Amino acid sequence: MTPNDYKTKTFIMSVAITNNTRIYQSSTVYTTEDYSLFRFYDSNRPPEHWPKLAQSIQKKDLTKYMPIVVSKDFHIIDGQGRFLACKELSIPVHFIVAENATESDIILLNVGRENWRIENYLNFYVNSGYSDYVLVAQILDELPNLKVNDVLRAFQYRYRDMSTHKTFISGQYKINDTAVKKCRLLSQVLYAIEGHVPKNKIVGRVSIVSAICSAFSDISINRLIEQIKKYPFLFEPQADQVRYKRLLEEIYNYRKRDKVAFTYK
């Protein structure tokens, strides 16, 4: 079956001429109550937000102005949450068929959207078979106290002139054995901090992770871990990454004869 076999609800807009500007209707919006037509891609993000979306739609249904986008075989490219909300409320689903759309276009439609977190991009590329992203997922399974952004801070890889973050969401991120070792070291230090320092003293996790990663080339991680466990009272909240690195340097050298100076770039 094709979209034409279902109820067509084309929002007719006559050609409007205002200040010599012509406005045309460019696409057809279809409407159906047959929810079984639609399918999900495994690579798309889990539509966890749809219950709140359903509450909003129940108050005022504007879904006809925001139709979901589907491929020609009814895989949802954009609008999983809206679809589930409509299904829950037993109201019609409005949709547009993007004839040439494929699974890879999910990323194009979601780049820059706040509702796609870095974990959603990881899930997409893992399910699409990107080996480097599969390795990142394996690292996170092995080291449950790490997050995706921690991996990116431990091993920064840039494609052309893009930042590590943009490289990751674009599908160009690469990771190697050195990165895996750095992630394991980072995980060990975080476990030492989280296991010995009072929670109210652990403030600004991003800055802490960045400080640890920037100190890798200067120190023995085993010594740092031993010092944190032995002198957790030295650990105090800091304002930024640089101050946390200075704190780690102080802890690292506390009551040690062989002082080591950390490098600051």
For 181-204, write each residue's pLDDT tens digit.
999 999 999 999 999 999 999 999
Which one of 3.40.50, 3.30.379, 3.90.1530, 2.20.28 gives the CATH number of domain 3-110? 3.90.1530
pLDDT at 95 over 70: yes
**Alpha carbon distance 265, 261 (integer Å):** 13
* Bigger pLDDT: 264 vs 135: 135
Determine the distance from the C-alpha atom of residue 24 to the mean position of all C-alpha atoms in its chain, rounded to a whole number. 36
- Share of the chain residues as helix, strand and coil, in percent rounded to the nearest 5: 50, 10, 45
Least confident of 16-20, 64-68, 151-155, 167-171: 16-20
Domain with CATH 3.90.1530 in the chain: 3-110
Closest CA to 188 of 214, 153, 161, 223: 223
Place of tokens 């094709």: 2
Q: What end-to-end distance do the CA atoms of the chain give, in Å?
A: 62
3-state secondary structure of 265: coil
**Alpha carbon distance 181, 187 (integer Å):** 10
Most confident of 12-21, 119-128, 152-161, 193-202: 193-202
**Alpha carbon distance 35, 196 (integer Å):** 52
**pLDDT tens digits, 147-184:** 999 999 999 998 888 999 999 988 899 999 999 999 99
Return all residues near 236 (Cβ < 8 A) that are at least 6 apart.
201, 247
The pLDDT assigned to 231 comes to: 97
- Number of helices and strands (H, E) in the chain? 11, 6
What's the token pair of residue 169? 């969401």
- Name the helix (H) or strand (E) containing 23: strand 21-23
pLDDT at 7 over 80: no
Helices marked H in the chain: 50-59, 80-89, 105-110, 118-127, 131-142, 148-154, 164-169, 177-196, 205-214, 221-230, 241-253
Closest CA to 77 of 97, 106, 98: 106
**Alpha carbon distance 131, 150 (integer Å):** 19
Place of tokens 């780690």: 248
pLDDT at 242 over 50: yes
pLDDT classification of 125: cutoffs 50, 70, 90: confident
pLDDT classification of 75: cutoffs 50, 70, 90: confident
pLDDT at 15 over 60: no
In this prediction, residues 1-30 reach a mean pLDDT of 56
When the pLDDT of each residue in the chain is averaged and rounded to a whole number, the result is 85
